[in-house]
Structure formats: structure tokens, C-alpha cells
Structure 1
Amino acid sequence: MSDNASRSQDLPRAALIAIGVLLAAVIVGVAAVRMSGQTIRAPDGDAVATRALRFEDRPDGSIAVIDGRDGVQLDSVQGEAGFLRGALRALARERMKRGLGPEQPFELVARNDGRLTLMDPATGQRIDLESFGPTNAGVFARLLKVDPQQAPAR
């Protein structure tokens, strides 16, 4: 009787084979997409605001935010600014790998769907800033709106 009880709790062999085939198909499908190099993300909305920005480290530890078109200093980031520094560090690291310098500005793009993207035209890298929450994205969003100030003499 115990032999019959254990058999009734087992899954039928055909069901186990079907589950195994389904799992294998899913793994092969995911691997094929990953190896194809296709990115899987929502398409970008239309740009509603764009600003070219360069960032320069200053001797006092601050970061100067400079308009990439006319060279006018827009802002100065003081203190920790961990998210801003981290995002810039990631993009700068990719430029260093490719032997590129900081001459070409980054592009900060606000989209009609509310997304905010920091793009590096020199490398093709991008950071979708809204992925890191509204507070972190707001650090960059305010750079779209700041009024230029005269850059200090170097």
C-alpha cells in the first residue's frame, strides 16, 4: 500500500519531460537574445529639452558644470554629491578605456515621457537617470534649468 501511495504523489513522466523541455526552451531563448547584443528597454520619448554639459574638477574639490556650447559656467557642485560624482565617474571611465578626453560635452536630455538621460556622444554610453529615483534624477534635472553665470578666471 505504501508503494501505491508514493506512486500517486509522483508527477507523470510526460509532465516532467514537458517541464524540462519548456525550461530548456526558455534558457535558450534568453541566451539567444542576450548574445545578440539587442538592448531590451522601452523606446525613448521625444526630447523636450537638451543641454550639452562639461564637468571639470576644481582644486577645492568642487565640480564646475559648464555649458558645452559656449563655455559659460552654469553651476558648481560642492560637497559629497555622491550620485552626480558616481554617474560622471562611470562615463569618464569608459572614455579613459577608449583613450578619449573630456573635451566633448555630455548631453542631458529630458523626454516627453518624464525620463531623463545623461548621454555620452563620444562613447555611446547612456545613463537613464530616472532609474535611480526622483531625488537622484533631480540632481541632474536642475542643470537643465540653471541660468548661466560668468565662469571664474582660472
Structure 2
Amino acid sequence: MSAPASHADMLPRGTLVIAGGLVAFALAATSIVRIAHIPAAASPVAMRAENHIAPVATRTLRFLDRADGAVVIEDVDPHRTAAVIHAGEKTGFIRGVMRGLARERRAHGIGDAPPFTLTSWHDGELSLTDTATGRSIELTAFGSSNRAAFAALLKAPTA
């Protein structure tokens, strides 16, 4: 028969010391930020409002799935098709962003009727805002080619 397992042998002492040190560091850093009244990082939306940065171009769009797998991008204001992304086209970034936003809408019980606002700002940023949930995505953060996919929608003629 083997001896019963001892709980003392489960974690090495060094691991416990490091874990305790990480917890102590997190508490100290949090305390310093609170005591010194260091402001939290501002969101891009708040920074634009604070600095009075105006939009350069805005387009209100609705993204609709078609039975053949294509995504129809409809310009809401003239109520015309702005673009159609066929299945297999190199616009996976647009599909990915919209899939994530649609998932959030489903979680809130919102359909695809409310539009999105695509905005190019004077400071060079590009954002997509869900008018139903208020969520805003800063598209410039995803790189120039991904940003360009959405920027093209600002310039796309209505069909």
C-alpha cells in the first residue's frame, strides 16, 4: 500500500510565493491609482467630444443577409443599395465585424432593422456605431486594409 497523498506536496512553495506577490502588486497598483486620483483612460468617443472633433463624412447603413449568402449593404437615407458583398469575396473583415454586432443584438433581442452609422472623423479615425445598442467600434485600430474596407462604403455610390 502506498502512503496517503499529502496536501503539502501539491504546489511548490515558490509558486505560492509568486502568486502572493502578484496579488500584492495588483492591490498596490490599484491603491496607488485610487489614492493619486489618476483618471481612467478616456474612450475615443469621449476624447472626440472633449476636443470637439467633427465628423468629415457620415453614412447610415443597414446590413442585411441574403439567402444566397451575400450581404446587402443598404444606405438608409436614400433607401438604396450601397454595396453587395457576395459569399467568398475578400471582405471577411466586414462580415466578421457585422457578425459580432449581430450576435450582440440577438442577445438584446434586437433585429437587423436599426441601422449603423459609419463615420469618418476630422482626426483621421473611422468608427462604426450601432444605433440600437450604442456600441461604437474604432475601425482604424484594425489596420489600414481592414479600415479601407469600411472606408470604401463611405464613398460607394448608391445603386
Per the normalisation by structure 2, the TM-score is 0.70
Q: Equivalent of 2:100, from 90, 102, 114?
A: 90
Q: Superposition RMSD on alpha carbons, in Å?
A: 2.5
Distance 2:133 2:32 in 1: 29
Shift of 1:28: 3.4
1:25 aligns with 2:21: no
* Equivalence for 1:69: 77
Shift of 1:51: 0.4
CA separation of 1:138/1:63 partners in 2, compared to 1, >3 Å: closer, same or farther? same
Shift of 1:30: 5.8
Shift of 1:22: 7.8
Mapping for residues 4-153 of structure 1, pairs under 5 Å = 24-28=27-31, 40-42=42-44, 43-44=47-48, 45-78=53-86, 79-80=88-89, 81-149=91-159
Distance 2:148 2:130 in 1: 19
Distance 1:86 1:29 in 2: 39
Distance 1:23 1:125 in 2: 29
Per-residue Cα deviation, 1:114-138 (whole angstroms, up to 9, x for no partner): 1000000110111100000010010
Shift of 1:87: 0.5
The code of the aligned residue for 1:41 comes to S
- Structure 2, unaligned runs of 5 or more: 1-23
| Equivalent residue pairs, number | 125
- Structure 1, unaligned runs of 5 or more: 1-20, 33-37, 150-154
* Equivalence for 2:21: none
* Equivalence for 1:7: none
The code of the aligned residue for 2:96 comes to G
CA separation of 1:24/1:86 partners in 2, compared to 1, >3 Å: closer, same or farther? same
Distance 1:106 1:41 in 2: 19
CA separation of 1:41/1:57 partners in 2, compared to 1, >3 Å: closer, same or farther? same
Distance 2:124 2:81 in 1: 26
Per-residue Cα deviation, 1:63-82 (whole angstroms, up to 9, x for no partner): 11100123200111122422
Task: Tell me which structure has the larger Cα radius of gyration.
Answer: 1
CA separation of 1:52/1:39 partners in 2, compared to 1, >3 Å: closer, same or farther? farther
